[in-house]
Structure 1
């Protein structure tokens, strides 16, 4: 595996979201992957498992796909009743499966702790424990693809972030996260119920995308 990151321009926020969605749906809905433009648009605008929330247009997604394609991170798959798109980050960045899963999560949800990444990765890849997550993150960091962020006031755990985006996007995410963490947190039982509801909503959104793909 190469020890250097391929040299390309940093991804903007829309490109970050698109690449993260392609990685996620490849693992969670293989029966409808590669994705049509409409399915990808639905995935980008999901109201669960996304940070920040977005409301992208078909034009924005289409333009950004072409930009990602030019950098070897996505590819148009011709054929069938609709054109479909797939991610190529695993090939271009020379990533093994657990690293693809972690990059995908970081692209979709911003800075996260080891515990969060372990919990949220179960639909993308099965990690044995947080030590394995940390090991893969350190390998990504060694290639300039991820980093450990300085612990912020009030935080008990360090967070990790991908380094594929623009520096300003990281500042925006950190500011939003700091504001969110200053608000009262739900009780552990409530957090569990919220996580369960988010998972159900995400599954319903995926089923909707699948049905739409079958109609195209």
Structure 2
């Protein structure tokens, strides 16, 4: 019987990338709330720099955003606050004190010792799950500029080749045109089972879906700008 590929996020060899906290400390799987909040911190650092680091309220709004999120979540404020504190305890976020409100920033760049391109891709994978190279290229425009699809693929493969890996490539199944990539911060992934399930449930891509996706991206940008204005007024 063919053995299924199972990719696991585990501790690094202490001799690899020793300057990073992740080099010597295994990272336990993050909860769904922690994954969503970390992705939001990465996203908003790039898209709303004037109001970053985020307040707890801004992080709550971002986590429950109905566009550019898969799946859409309905987290309570307390869940977001708890997720922020858990991320802080794990070294992936840091509280920044301001005159009026607690604010949080992510520390993924230093924790994993990643260039900005890979941080941006990791953030997108955290927010929207498994995605193709071309989907990531289209969705990364506001986070980081990539030269082309090959540039995106290069940085994705670097995430996959790390020890421990931060992402995994999911081979394309029947009816799918491209391989997809999935983050590993939520724990082990059974690649064969995931690919089979996704192939069975994936709808065929249409021009209408592409237009809807573009409108969702535009709406997400408007929501980010509105939140920036609200946060500026609060300060």
- The TM-score with structure 1 as length reference comes to 0.89
1:1-216 equivalences in 2 (<5 Å): 2=17, 6-143=25-162, 144-167=165-188, 177-178=198-199, 181-182=202-203, 185-186=205-206, 188=207, 190-216=208-234
Q: CA deviation at 1:208?
A: 2.6
Deviations 1:92-119 (A, max 9, x none): 1111010001000000000001111111
With over 3 angstroms needed to count, the CA separation of the structure-2 counterparts of 1:90 and 1:215, relative to structure 1, is same
How many angstroms does 1:205 deviate by? 1.3
Provide the rounded CA distance (Å) in 2 between the counterparts of 1:2 and 1:121: 26
* TM-score for both structures, normalised by structure 2: 0.82
Aligned equivalents of 1:199 and 1:22: distance in 2?
17
- The DSSP-based 3-state class of the residue aligned with 1:122 is coil
Gaps of 5+ in 2: 1-15
Give the secondary-structure state (helix, strand or coil) at the position aligned to 1:123.
Answer: coil
The structure having more radius of gyration, on CA atoms, is: 2
* 1:210/1:177 CA distance change after superposition, 3 Å: farther
The SS at the match of 1:41 is: helix
> 2:172 aligns to what SS in structure 1?
coil
In 2 relative to 1, CA 172–26 (structure 1 residues): closer, same or farther, beyond 3 Å?
farther
Deviations 1:117-140, CA, capped at 9 Å, x for gaps: 111111111111111111111111
Runs of 4 or more consecutive aligned structure 1 residues displaced over 3 Å after TM superposition: 3-6, 167-180
Distance in structure 1 (CA, Å) of the matches to 2:221 and 2:186: 27
Question: Judging changes above 3 Å, is the alpha-carbon distance between structure 1 residues 178 and 212 closer, same or farther for their aligned structure 2 residues?
Answer: farther
In the alignment, the residues of structure 1 paired with residue 190 and residue 72 of structure 2 have an alpha-carbon distance, to the nearest angstrom, of: 14
For 1:215 and 1:179, the matched residues in 2 are separated by: 48
Deviation at 1:153, TM superposition (A): 2.6
1:84 partner SS: strand
Query: Which structure: greater helix fraction?
Result: 1
Aligned pairs, number: 213
